[in-house]
Structure 1
Amino acid sequence: MHKINEIDGFEYVTFPSLENHENLFHCFTTRKGGVSSGNFCSMNLGMGSGDEEENVKTNYRIMAERLNINLDDIVETDQTHTKNIKYVTEEYKGYAMMDPLYTDVDGLYTDKRNIALMTFHADCTPLFFFDPVKNVVGMAHAGWKGTLNNIAGEMVDAFVRDFSSNPGDIIAAIGPSLGQCCFEVDKDVADMFLEYDEKYTDFMIVKGEKYHFNLWEINKYLMVKHGMKTSNIELSGLCTKCNNNMFFSHRGQKGKRGLMCGIIMLK
C-alpha cells in the first residue's frame, strides 16, 4: 500500500502504516515538483548527477519547504552498494548536499529527534524502519548488492543490539523501486542469489536467458527471518521503471537520470 501526496506540484509517497504515528515523519520523493529539466526533470536531488548544481540546490530548498523540514537537520548516506549501516547523532547534521563525515554507508539509524535520515534512489530499493516502542528509526538503500548482502537484516539486528528492540515491534516499509517485472539479471548474478539462500527460487522467474528476482519480497523475507512480523511490513508495489513518468529510473533512462530520496525522522 502507498499514498501519493501533492503540495503545490511537489509529489511524494507515504505509507499508511507509518503515517499513524504523530512522532514520525517519512516520505519518498518523486521526480515531480522541482526546477530541473531534460533527463533530470524535475525534482532531481542528486548532486554530481550531471544536472546543474544550482538546480539541485533549488530542488533541495523546495523539498524542505514543502515537507516542512530543516535542511540543516538532514543526514545523508554515502552510498557504495554495501550492507554498511551507521548510527548517527546531531554531530552529523549540517552536511546536506556535501560529503558526509563518513564513507561507504548505505544505511543510517538513530534514536535522536529532528535528524532527517536520507537515502538516494533511482531503481534501488528504499527501506524504512521504525520501532514505536523504543523510538528508533532507520533508512537503508538496498540495491541488488545490498539486498544480496542483507542490509535489511543488518538494520533489524542493529535495533536489537543497540536499543534492545523486539523485532516484532519494528514496522517497515519497502518503497518504490524496480519490480520483478523489470529487475532482470544474467545467470552469474542469479547464481549469487541462489548460493546465498535456496529459498530465493521462490522469488525468481526465468524468462529465456534472463532471471527476474522480486527484491521487494526478498527484503521482506530477510526482515521476517530476523524476527519481524509479516504484518508489520508494507510494500508500495510501485515499480520505478514502469512508472518512469513519476520516478527516475536508472535502467529505464539508461543511466541518464536524477535521484529521488527516502527520508525518515523522529519528531
Structure 2
Amino acid sequence: MRFQTIGNITVARFRLLETQADVSHFVSCRAGGVSPPPWDTLNISHTVGDSPARVEKNRSLLARTLGMRTKQLRFCAQRHGTDIWVVSERERICPDEPLREADGMITAQPGVCLTVVVADCAPVLLWSTSKRVAGVFHAGWRGLAGGICEKAVDTMRVLFRAAPYEMIACVGPCIGACCYRVDAQVIEAMEPHLCRTPHALVARGGGFYLDLSAIAAGQLLSAGVPEAHIEEAGVCTSCRQDLFFSHRGSGGRTGRCAAGIAIEG
C-alpha cells in the first residue's frame, strides 16, 4: 500500500490493484476536510453525529480529488452483518434511491464507485480480473465471524462466474492485534476462523488481542483467492490516528474514513 496526496487530501492505494487498468480504488485518510473535532476533518459518514452539510462537503471534496462526481460514490447502510448488495444498472443510474442495508456491494457496472465507511473495521476490496466485477466490504468482527469475505468471493463466483483464482483482494487499514483487545464473546464467535488462522489471536498481558486483517486474509485464502493475489495494508488504525479514524482509539466518538472501488469505462 502506498499513500498519495492530492491537494489537501491523502488517499492510500494498493500495489496489486494499481497494476489493473480497468479499475480504480482508494482508501481515504482523515485530513483535508471541513469537520471539527471529534470528526476532524474528512469525515465521510452521516451516522456519527457530524452535520449533514459538512459530511456532504467532505464527500464532494473526496470525489473531486478522485476525479469523479459525488453521486458516483455509492454507499450502503452498514449493519455489521454479511448482507451483500449486487448493484444493478438501474441502481447505478438512480443514485438518490434509499440506501440498502448491507455490509458489502458488488457490481459489474462501470462508473459507480462502491464505497464503505470504516474506523477500525477492515475494508476489503475485491476485483475479478477476467469478468471485470468489483466489490467492497465492511468487515468488522461480526461480519468476519459470519464469513463475509468467503461470502463475497462465492457471490462473485455464482452470479458472475468469476473464478477465485483470478481475483485480487486487498485488506485495508484496520485495528491490529497490537491494540484490539477482545472478550470471550468475540473469541467464541471467531473460533471457527481461528482454527485456520490461529496466529490472529494473540495472548498478552492477561488479555487476548485480535488481528482482523489476518482473519480477513485467511477467509479469502480459504475461498480460493491465491496468497499472491492478497494484499494487506499492514497499518493499525488505532496506532495511526494521525492518518485514520479509530473508534476504539478515540473512545467511540470519531469520524469515518472511506474505501471504494470503481470499474473504469
TMscore range, shorter length:
over 0.9
What are the superposed Cα offsets for residues 110-149 of structure 1, whole Å, 9 maximum, x if unpaired? 1111111010101100000001111000000000111111
What are the superposed Cα offsets for residues 175-194 of structure 1, whole Å, 9 maximum, x if unpaired? 01101111110123212222
Match of 1:193 in 2: 190
Q: Counterpart of 2:24 in 1: which secondary structure?
A: strand
Match of 2:257 in 1: 260
Q: Is the 8 A contact 1:186 1:209 kept in 2?
A: no
Q: Is the 8 A contact 1:248 1:258 kept in 2?
A: yes
Q: Is the 8 A contact 1:39 1:256 kept in 2?
A: yes
Q: Counterpart of 2:250 in 1: which secondary structure?
A: coil
Which runs of at least 4 in structure 1 moved beyond 6 Å after TM superposition? none
> What's the offset of the Cα at 1:251?
0.5
Q: Is the 8 A contact 1:87 1:109 kept in 2?
A: yes
Structure 2 unmatched runs, 5+: none
Distance 1:108 1:177 in 2: 19
Structure 1 unmatched runs, 5+: none
Distance 1:86 1:165 in 2: 17
Distance 1:188 1:49 in 2: 25
Match of 2:210 in 1: 213
What are the superposed Cα offsets for residues 72-130 of structure 1, whole Å, 9 maximum, x if unpaired? 2222121110011111023324547x841x22x00000111111101010110000000
Match of 1:60 in 2: 59
- Once the two structures are superposed, the pairs formed by residues 109-188 of structure 1 within 5 Å of their partners are 109-188=106-185
> What's the offset of the Cα at 1:196?
5.2
Q: Counterpart of 1:45 in 2: which secondary structure?
A: coil
Distance 2:193 2:17 in 1: 31
Q: Counterpart of 2:32 in 1: which secondary structure?
A: coil
- Please, what is the CA RMSD of the aligned residues? 1.5
Which one is further off, 236-245 or 199-208? Answer: 199-208
Match of 1:10 in 2: 9
Match of 2:70 in 1: 71
What are the superposed Cα offsets for residues 216-264 of structure 1, whole Å, 9 maximum, x if unpaired? 1111111111111000000111110000011110001111101111110
| Count of residues in correspondence between the two structures | 263
> What's the offset of the Cα at 1:50?
1.3
Which one is further off, 185-194 or 113-122? Answer: 185-194
